[in-house]
Amino acid sequence: MSATILTPVLALICWTLLVWLWMYALRIPAMQAANIDPNNAQHPGSLDILPNPARQVADNYNHLHEQPTIFYALMFYLQLSGQADSLAVTLAWVYVGIRVIHSLVQGTVNLVMLRFGIFALSSITLIVLTVRAVLAAI
């Protein structure tokens, strides 16, 4: 398999699906232990009584559908515009690695300031990628 700027996209998609599995591996037993009927979980907040580990991983799964959407669009832009140089590929992998670390921290120890620092690093990486793309476009 040849590595392109789209390979980190595939990696983050795979990671997101692994977090989905992790979420349900925790959420389903937690719901059963709390005697929650799945039909009673129709509205936001209805699962707030679940223990923190199940909620933390679910929160992270949601986070993987927020800022990474910018990453996905930017990677396709870089590929299609011919800006997918080796630095961009490296930064894309750095972004994915930082997001994986963010997931692991949020899904385990969930120290907010540590998590924020990791999130800030991923944001800075995304900003650098974006600024490079804008400068190349003008």
* Residue count of the chain: 138
Is residue 3 scored above 80 in pLDDT? no
Handedness of CA 131, 133, 134, 135 (dihedral sign): positive
Domain-located, residue 28:
yes
Model confidence over 35-90: pLDDT tens digits?
Answer: 998 988 888 788 889 999 999 999 999 999 999 999 999 999 999 999 999 999 99
Average model confidence (pLDDT) for the chain?
Answer: 95
Stretch 91-118: mean pLDDT: 98
pLDDT at 6: 97
Model confidence over 72-83: pLDDT tens digits?
Answer: 999 999 999 999
Q: Could you list the residue range(s) of the whole structural domain that residue 125 is in?
A: 6-137
Q: Are 78 and 88 in contact (CB under 8 A)?
A: yes
Domain count within the chain: 1
CA pair distance 20, 39, nearest whole angstrom: 20
Percentage above 70 pLDDT, the chain: 99
Domain-located, residue 1:
no
Helix ranges (DSSP H) in the chain: 6-33, 52-63, 68-80, 86-107, 112-137
Could you tell me the pTM of the whole model?
0.94
CA pair distance 10, 7, nearest whole angstrom: 5
> CATH number for the domain including 26?
1.20.120
Percentage above 90 pLDDT, the chain: 88
Query: What's the pLDDT band for 1 if we cut at 50, 70, 90?
Result: very low
pLDDT at 2: 59
Domain-located, residue 52:
yes
